[in-house]
Chain A
Amino acid sequence: MKWYRIKALLLKYFYISINSVDRWFDIFYWPVIDIFVWGFASFYIKELSNFNLLSVLMGGVILWIFVWKSSQDIATFVLEDFWARNLYNLFSSPMRISEHVTSIVLFAFIRGLISFCFLILLAFLLYSFNIFALPILFIAAAVFILSLFGWVIGLFVVSLILRFGQRIQILAWSIVWVVQPFSCVFYPLSSIPSWAKPIAIFLPTTYVFENMRAFFLEGRAINYGELLYSFILTLFLMIIVGFFLYRSYAKAKQSGMLAKGD
């Protein structure tokens, strides 16, 4: 891998972001809507039950941003090259697939970080919610695990796009929302139906949100053993997706997908 090529691609994604209003929208608009919806919902729940869920819901919204942004940005940036029929030029350059992936992953992370910071500020201003009430080590671990898991989803979608083309592009926006209900972002694992539990237990995200909730609601200490397990699980998924991506790239070269770009 050559850093100057990764830098070139990072610059490309930066230019796309500053040149396109949609890309600004992505970073701020939908996350802000989430902050309002869940903030107001927590007020209503408090009114009904005198139970304060604000910190749990806000923590969920703010941390989920890394899974959401990472997965969606990775798939969308690759799709954008498909739409512009630009894969032809990119892949005929000396760029390696690993450099392509690294640059997209890094850029998606940066965009996620911008959304994260913005939401932290907004949640503080609107609801006096301070995410830093959580231990810094937990926040760092959560950001890392959730981003890594977002990359797993994003790269899985990219692998599918390389195999099946743009006809499965809807997955770029939808797959993360299929994963969310099973990740126990806003409710505990114990509250979901028994058929859904095995799926939730398999997802690394569940352990992050379970720990966050336990900390906020019960004042329980963070179980770093669970986070380590979650990290290993994500790493395992990443290795599988990495292999799948590599095979899909080879398949795309074989089928002529990169040259056709559709």
Chain B
Amino acid sequence: MDAIEVNNLVKSFREKNKLIKAVDNISFSVKKGEIFGLLGPNGAGKTTTLNILNGLISKDSGEIKILGLDPEQNELNWESVKNKINVSTAYYSLSEQLTIRQNLKVYAMLYNIKNIQEKIDQLLQMFELKSLDNRKVVQLSSGEKTRVSLCKGFINDPEVLFLDECTVGLDPDIAEKTREIIRDYQEQKGTTIIFTSHYMYEVEELCNRIAFMNNGRIIKIDTAGNFKKLIKKTSIELTIKENYPALMKIMKERNIDILSTGTNTVVFEVSSSTDQLYKLMNMIFKAGVKISDMHMNKPTLEDIFIQFARKKQRVR
């Protein structure tokens, strides 16, 4: 059984008498224990999708199933589902007049957690907030608020966790630790996670599969590795010590796409297949070209993101 099934989900909002489709007939499923990324530019429909899944927004049509239940069927199903899921986002704070500990206590009670103090201490330790536990949320930095929100997200040991831009505002060290915590936690508990982020490396590092969204539609679902294969070219920058003309001659003969040249540098593109690059480099060495430095820029998820975002068309 999949942890989440979404079929033909549609959601529109009325803005200034215009109907805007925020989610346009999307379907996907997330396996139990999977970390599933939703990626896309602003307004792609990622957050609306998450908000439909956590019960904050009602759908226009389509079907959703979370942990085998259709929550829209009745209030009881929503209650049962919401007890087993949780959400953490950097954009919505907890009660600002309450201290971290007070906030977590309230949420622990809402989720009917046993051994509340023990659970809170464990989470505060995990997210390095122990020394701030009696500080009001309003007094915290945005990074600290984000960590409090993560504590809230983990308070009920959720079976499904929605993490919406949950590392925004964290300094790199804490962000890295947070990713580690998410990964370790997921491995230990087998939690299903739906993850959205603007940081491509983060999505690439954490997610088993990724859905690219744009204009309310899912453009493609695949692994980060397979997405990267979509960009077939790798760019290479060479700094030449000797015999620059011989290099340029080879480039011309082989019809290599030169992106830029300098007094002793050249940037060019080759097919990402290692075979072509190997042959080319072999020819360069045989021609007596001496290279002092070499940089290889492999395609990143960011390149794919930009490519998809600019295309704005369905390829699926």
Contact = CB atoms under 8 A, between A and B. Distances in A.
Interface of A: 2, 4-5, 7-9, 11-12, 15-16, 19-20, 80-81, 83-86, 88-89, 91-96, 250, 253-256, 258-259, 261
A91 B83 contact: no
B79 A12 contact: no
Contacts of B58: 250, 253-254
B82 A84 contact: no
Given A19-B98, A86-B92, A93 B56 contact: no
Contacts of A256: 13, 48, 51, 56-57
Contacts of B13: 255-256
B276 interface: no
Interface in B73-126: 75, 79, 82-83, 86-87, 89, 91-99, 102, 105-107, 109-112
Given A7-B109, A11-B109, A93-B107, A88 B95 contact: no
A85 B92 contact: yes
**What does DSSP make chain B's interface, helix, strand, loop or mixed?**
mixed
Interface of B: 13-14, 47-48, 51, 54-58, 75, 79, 82-83, 86-87, 89, 91-99, 102, 105-107, 109-112, 136-137, 149, 152
Contacts of B96: 83-84, 86
Contacts of B82: 92-94
B79 A96 contact: yes
A15 B101 CA distance: 11
21 contacts: A4-B112, A11-B106, A12-B98, A19-B99, A19-B136, A80-B95, A84-B96, A85-B92, A86-B94, A88-B56, A88-B91, A89-B87, A91-B55, A92-B54, A92-B56, A92-B87, A94-B83, A96-B75, A256-B48, A256-B56, A261-B92
A258 B98 contact: no
A9 B95 CA distance: 11
B225 to A, nearest CB: 32
Contact of A8 (B57, B87, B99, B106): B106
Contact of B97 (A2, A20, A93, A254): A20
B56 A15 contact: no
B110 A94 contact: yes
Q: Which 10 pairs from chain A and chain B are nearest by CB?
A: A8-B109, A88-B92, A94-B82, A259-B56, A253-B58, A259-B51, A84-B96, A92-B54, A12-B106, A8-B110
Contacts of B75: 96
A89 B48 CA distance: 15
A81 B149 CA distance: 15
B109 A15 contact: no
Given A16-B98, A84-B93, A253 B107 contact: no
Given A92-B55, A96-B75, A256-B13, A81 B95 contact: yes
Interface centre among B87, B96, B105 (most CB of A within 10 A): B96
A212 to B, nearest CB: 37
Nearest to A20: B97
A15 B110 contact: no
Contacts of A261: 92
A253 B56 contact: yes
A253 B60 CA distance: 11
B111 A19 contact: no
Contacts of B14: 255
A247 to B, nearest CB: 13
Given A5-B110, A91-B56, 19 more contacts: A2-B112, A4-B112, A5-B109, A11-B106, A12-B95, A12-B106, A16-B95, A84-B93, A86-B96, A88-B87, A89-B92, A89-B94, A92-B82, A92-B87, A94-B83, A96-B79, A256-B48, A256-B51, A259-B57
B92 A95 contact: no
Interface centre among B48, B83, B109, B110 (most CB of A within 10 A): B110
A13 to B, nearest CB: 10
Contacts of B92: 85-86, 88-89, 261
Contact of A258 (B56, B89, B102, B109): B56
A84 B148 CA distance: 14
A80 B93 CA distance: 12
Contacts of A5: 109-110, 112
B237 to A, nearest CB: 45
B102 A15 contact: yes
Nearest to B88: A89
A250 B58 CA distance: 8
B111 A93 contact: yes
A7 B105 CA distance: 11
